[in-house]
Structure 1
Amino acid sequence: MIFAHDTEMALQAAVALVNSAEEPETLQTVADLDAFLRRFGYTGRHDRDEAELESVRRVRPRLRGLLAADRDGAVEVLNAMLAEARAVPRLVRHDEMDWHVHAVADDRPLAERILVETAMAMIDVVRADEMSRLGVCADPDCDGLVLDLSRNRSRRFCSTTCGNRAAVAAYRARQASR
């Protein structure tokens, strides 16, 4: 593990949320949002309505900007996010999670909590000088983000689909050159 568990989960959630805007759009319904929250262990307030879904969808460009920024740019963006939310970090323990950091109250809007949790996770990334763990998919037809938590820093594609597409294209190119 490169980062603390809550940091890795927040980063994975942010990348998945940003990539949900790629075609095909995968965050279209409140049920999709419910599944996203279960997958990444989000707790606290969840209104389960269209307004909440839209507010979460609207934070994706801002998260993309943070995750794709250079180190100094990321600091500027995450500091702004934390200041806007008046974040006050505190340690909490709930469900099956041991002590971890929350920085806004559980009753704050979901979109705000997602932004703040991502900003808090990015603090660890910046401090560890690990910005190279974040990048854009190596598939030339994809703009998805990649979070590489592997030891050897070998992850290049945002999804298995993009990796498979690249492998098939490389195979066909080799076959055509024979």
Structure 2
Amino acid sequence: MNRKIFQVQHAPFKKKLLEAGIRKHQSVIDDFKKSIKELLGGEGLVNEEEMDLSQQSFNTEQVQKANAIGDQVAFANEEMTLLNNMLPSIEDIHDQVTLGSVVVTENRIFFVSASIEEFEVDGIKVFGLSTQSPLYQEMKGKKKGDKFSFKDNHYTILDLF
């Protein structure tokens, strides 16, 4: 675990985390949209009269894949709304784990916000954790010094802000 986390100014770091998380999440949304566009528009769909059965089957499969990705985009957009709604209060410092908390453990640093793959801010790697995740449910309401377990991993909260 990166010791730099113990030297950061909490409120400004949380703001940077949220801004970086929003950028990373927007990148994921953009990638999903690009995939949909490629599935639906990149194949040069022929007109229906010329389409044989194999082409129809292929197109149906592409549309189904695009719809599945569309569901992921909808979920990602909901999480983006959540992230944007966090902006006004992100610099609040927490004494127990809740939405917007940075939770420092001996294994990993968590940012309770939305599901965001590990990202880096000021040389510190952070994992975005949704309040819907089972791991969050284990740490919810805990305070600095508290311990919790998830699956076969044991954590101690070294810092919380």
TM-score w.r.t. structure 2 length? 0.27
Output the TM-score relative to the length of structure 1. 0.25
- Larger Cα Rg: Structure 1 or Structure 2? 2
Q: Please identify which structure carries the higher strand content.
A: 2
